[in-house]
């Protein structure tokens, strides 16, 4: 596994959290800031459009006044037809924005002038010229500037046009119908026009400064470009021809709405051919002339402040996060630096150096607690080790004593086989396999008076030194008692009396004691609560002795024991054992059992004493299969060769 530090984890988690927090905050901020900017821009734009349109309107309405006044004057017959030309001349001379003016009468209005009568003044360079229009080749009645006001009975602003005679100036004409009383009836009598230069208009429009490269443009009521920073468009293109040229249906749609006189501020649904990037547009109509003004906002400029803000914010945040990381690293390093020392100390302690110096902790926090725990552990370990040393040595002492006790125990029982080389009647073998703890099993045999063979096998309750001491006492008593008494029941009774007295610990010993007459083969025996031995009749069958009705020795001092007897034939064998054999246990808790004992005996009916015991030992080992031996295992076989 890759080694990582605590500060790495904390920084990673904190940074992760901070970045997530930042992203959320930023998104919200960005959304609202963008919305605010859009709103502000819209308001500014609406205001800008309004002001610009007002400026244009001011000029146009002012220009409208002259022909309207003239129309009124003509209607009221204030002016004679001869003073018309001077009147128009003087009007032009005081109004520089006027390039020309016509008062065109209906055909034959003045019969003396014939069909046509239209006094006209116009600028020619710096001078003001005049003429009377109307000719067979110039029937002004059919011109738009005449026809439209006549039919609609309303003043009319013409489509802008270039005045080729007047120095290529963009012009437009305003026509106002006038009426006179003919036969007492108000009758249409002609049209008063003024030609007005649109130079100033272009100037107003180009003066509109929007952001860095934003601009305004003006469309006529037919969508003709009247004013645009790209002068090639002016009067040469309509918004629709441009839209078609650059294939922008959105632009056509916008154009349609504009000439319909709608107002809007929105993200443009089109791209411009000469202005790159996403655009926003605001458009509004000019009420008098029905023209429409558009204002274009490049989006990147519109949100430039926001983007600049974003960059500043990003830089601040990166710097902030880096500083945060450094600070966390410092703090965590400071806080955890003792941990590394603790780890070193722990390693030294583990190596057995309990008195290693712990890192000094000045703070009163968890580190201090850790320090306290460590020093407590040191102290405890130290004490524990001291105790352990003591107990280990004590244990070693006890173990060695136990081993000696076991050796003494073992030395008390005969273990030289065959035990009586000069006693042909008896062939005998016995084993006592101690459990880990010193046990209380015993066996013994000896000859009394040269003609009786006394043997005993027994098991003291419990284990350990008390059991082995009890066993030693028993064995000694049996030997000493049988010096004087030869009857098994008397021996056991005497033994019982001796060990029952002052037996506060209530220990007891099971004992099978037999006295065999070597001459007759008569076996007298007393079983004090011991496992019944097996009698194997030579070349015949084997059977267990009956269960005893006598209790183990050591329980009640006045208990009366009896004896039984059986006659042994030459070659008959006795197999005696303790419960360590019948209750040998394997890991599943299954006991070896008397049945197994009988079966092994039956399978080895002719075996010699040692052979049978070896066989039995092997079978027991097979049964327990390595499971810890919990009790002494003692067996004794005696063959009578009478």
Partner 1 sequence: MNTTLVKSGEYSVIIVEGRVDTTNAGEFEKAVMDVVESGTDKIILDCTGLNYISSSGLRIFLIVHKRMLAKKGCLKLCSLQPGIKEIFDISGFSTIFSIFPDQQTAESD
**Of these, 44, 68, 147, 630, which contacts partner 1 (CB under 8 A)?**
630
- Closest among 442, 409, 438 to 509, alpha carbons compared: 442
Tokens of 76: 């009221």
The answer to the question of residue 514 lying near partner 1 (CB under 8 A) is no
Instruction: Work out how close the CB of 373 gets to partner 1 at its nearest, in angstroms, rounded to a whole number.
Output: 35
Instruction: Work out how close the CB of 606 gets to partner 1 at its nearest, in angstroms, rounded to a whole number.
Output: 28
Q: Is the CB of residue 56 less than 8 Å from the CB of residue 201? A: yes
The answer to the question of residue 605 lying near partner 1 (CB under 8 A) is no
From residue 456 to residue 495, the character string flagging contacts with partner 1 as x (rule: CB under 8 A) and all else as - is ---xxxxxx-------------------------------
Residue 225 CB neighbours (<10 A): 23
Give the whole-angstrom CA distance, residue 604 versus residue 615. Answer: 8
**Of these, 229, 414, 532, 571, which contacts partner 1 (CB under 8 A)?**
532
Instruction: Work out how close the CB of 531 gets to partner 1 at its nearest, in angstroms, rounded to a whole number.
Output: 5
The answer to the question of residue 243 lying near partner 1 (CB under 8 A) is no
The answer to the question of residue 508 lying near partner 1 (CB under 8 A) is yes
Instruction: Work out how close the CB of 601 gets to partner 1 at its nearest, in angstroms, rounded to a whole number.
Output: 17
* The three-state (H, E, C) secondary structure of 334-364, written as one string: HHHHHHHHHHHHHHHHHCCCCCCCCCCCCCC
The answer to the question of residue 48 lying near partner 1 (CB under 8 A) is no
Binding segment for partner 1 (CB under 8 A), chosen from 43-51, 230-238, 443-451, 547-555, is: 547-555
Please give the span between the terminal C-alpha atoms of the chain, in angstroms, as a whole number: 82
The answer to the question of residue 528 lying near partner 1 (CB under 8 A) is yes
Instruction: Work out how close the CB of 405 gets to partner 1 at its nearest, in angstroms, rounded to a whole number.
Output: 16
**Of these, 506, 599, 603, 606, which contacts partner 1 (CB under 8 A)?**
506
Residue 41 CB neighbours (<10 A): 22
**Of these, 280, 283, 550, 640, which contacts partner 1 (CB under 8 A)?**
550
**Of these, 119, 488, 533, 552, which contacts partner 1 (CB under 8 A)?**
552
Give the whole-angstrom CA distance, residue 194 versus residue 462. Answer: 141
Strands, DSSP E only, in 518-641? 522-528, 534-536, 542-544, 564-567, 572-577, 633-640
Q: State the DSSP code for 238.
A: B
Dihedral over alpha carbons 431, 436, 437, 442 (to 10 degrees): 0
Whichever of 82 and 504 has its CB closer to partner 1, that residue is 504
Instruction: Work out how close the CB of 500 gets to partner 1 at its nearest, in angstroms, rounded to a whole number.
Output: 11
Contacting partner 1 within 380-439 (CB under 8 A):
437
From residue 146 to residue 185, the character string flagging contacts with partner 1 as x (rule: CB under 8 A) and all else as - is ----------------------------------------
**Of these, 132, 551, 596, 605, which contacts partner 1 (CB under 8 A)?**
551
Instruction: Work out how close the CB of 461 gets to partner 1 at its nearest, in angstroms, rounded to a whole number.
Output: 4
Contacting partner 1 within 584-603 (CB under 8 A):
589, 591
The answer to the question of residue 579 lying near partner 1 (CB under 8 A) is yes
Burial of 381 (0-12, 13-18, 19+ CB in 10 A): middle
The answer to the question of residue 548 lying near partner 1 (CB under 8 A) is yes
Tokens of 595: 């049945």
- Closest among 610, 642, 620, 628 to 523, alpha carbons compared: 642
Give the whole-angstrom CA distance, residue 241 versus residue 248. Answer: 10
Buried b (16+ CB within 10 A) or exposed e, 72-103: ebbeeeeeebeebbebbbebbeebeebbbbbb
Which residues make up the interface to partner 1 (CB under 8 A)?
A: 437, 440, 459-464, 506-508, 510, 527-532, 547-552, 555-556, 579, 583, 589, 591, 630-631
């Amino acid at each position: 596994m890759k080694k990582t530090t605590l500060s790495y984890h904390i920084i990673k988690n904190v940074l992760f959290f901070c970045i997530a927090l930042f992203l959320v905050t930023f998104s919200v901020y960005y959304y609202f800031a963008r919305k605010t900017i859009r709103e502000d821009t819209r308001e500014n734009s609406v205001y800008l459009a309004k002001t610009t349109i007002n400026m244009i309107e001011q000029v146009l309405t002012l220009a409208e006044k002259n022909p309207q006044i003239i129309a009124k004057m003509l209607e009221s017959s204030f002016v004679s037809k001869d003073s018309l030309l001077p009147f128009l001349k003087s009007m032009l001379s005081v109004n520089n924005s006027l390039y020309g003016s016509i008062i065109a009468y209906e055909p034959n209005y003045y019969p003396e002038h014939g069909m046509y009568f239209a006094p006209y003044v116009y600028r020619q360079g710096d001078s003001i010229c005049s003429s009377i229009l109307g000719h067979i080749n110039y029937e002004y009645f059919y011109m738009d500037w005449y026809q439209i006001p006549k039919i609609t009975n309303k003043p009319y602003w013409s489509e802008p046009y270039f005045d080729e005679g007047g120095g290529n100036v963009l012009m437009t004409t305003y026509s106002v119908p006038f009426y006179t009383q003919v036969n007492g009836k108000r009758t249409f009598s002609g049209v008063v026009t003024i030609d007005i230069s649109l130079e100033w208009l272009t100037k107003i429009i180009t003066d509109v400064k929007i952001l860095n490269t934003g601009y305004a443009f003006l469309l006529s009521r037919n969508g003709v470009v009247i004013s645009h920073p790209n002068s090639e468009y002016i009067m040469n293109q309509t918004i629709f021809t441009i839209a078609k040229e650059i294939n922008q249906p959105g632009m056509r749609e916008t154009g349609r709405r504009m000439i319909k006189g709608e107002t809007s501020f929105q993200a443009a649904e089109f791209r411009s051919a000469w202005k790159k990037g996403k655009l926003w547009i605001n458009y509004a109509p000019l009420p008098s002339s029905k023209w429409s003004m558009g204002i274009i906002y490049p989006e990147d400029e519109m949100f430039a402040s926001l983007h600049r803000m974003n960059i500043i914010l990003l830089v601040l945040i990166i710097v902030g996060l880096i500083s945060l990381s450094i600070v966390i690293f410092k703090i965590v390093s400071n806080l955890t630096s003792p941990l590394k020392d603790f780890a070193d100390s722990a390693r030294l302690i583990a190596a057995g150096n309990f008195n290693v110096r712990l890192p000094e902790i000045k703070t009163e926090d968890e580190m201090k607690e850790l320090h306290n725990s460590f020093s407590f552990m040191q102290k405890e370990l130290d004490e524990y080790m001291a105790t352990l040393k003591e107990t280990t040595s004590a244990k070693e002492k006890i173990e060695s004593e136990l081993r000696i006790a076991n050796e003494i125990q073992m030395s008390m029982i005969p273990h030289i086989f065959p035990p009586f080389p000069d006693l042909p009647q008896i062939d005998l073998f016995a084993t006592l396999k101690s459990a880990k703890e010193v046990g209380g099993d015993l066996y013994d045999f000896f000859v009394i008076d040269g003609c009786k063979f006394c043997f005993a096998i027994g098991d003291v309750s419990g284990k350990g030194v008390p059991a082995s001491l009890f066993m030693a006492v028993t064995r000694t008593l049996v030997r000493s008692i049988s010096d004087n008494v030869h009857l098994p029941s008397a021996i056991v009774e005497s033994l019982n009396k001796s060990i029952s007295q002052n037996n506060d610990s209530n220990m007891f010993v099971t004992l099978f004691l037999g006295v065999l007459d070597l001459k007759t083969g008569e076996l007298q025996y007393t079983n004090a609560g011991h496992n019944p031995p097996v009698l194997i009749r030579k070349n015949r069958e084997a059977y267990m002795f009956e269960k005893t009705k006598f209790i183990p020795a050591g329980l009640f001092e006045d208990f009366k024991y009896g004896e039984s007897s059986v006659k042994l034939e030459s070659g008959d064998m006795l197999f005696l054992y303790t419960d360590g054999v019948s209750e040998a246990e394997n890991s599943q808790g299954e006991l070896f059992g008397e049945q197994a004992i009988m079966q092994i005996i039956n399978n080895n009916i002719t075996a010699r004493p040692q052979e049978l015991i070896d066989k039995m030992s092997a079978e027991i080992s097979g049964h327990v299969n390595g499971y810890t031996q919990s009790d002494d295992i003692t067996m004794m076989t005696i063959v009578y060769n009478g």
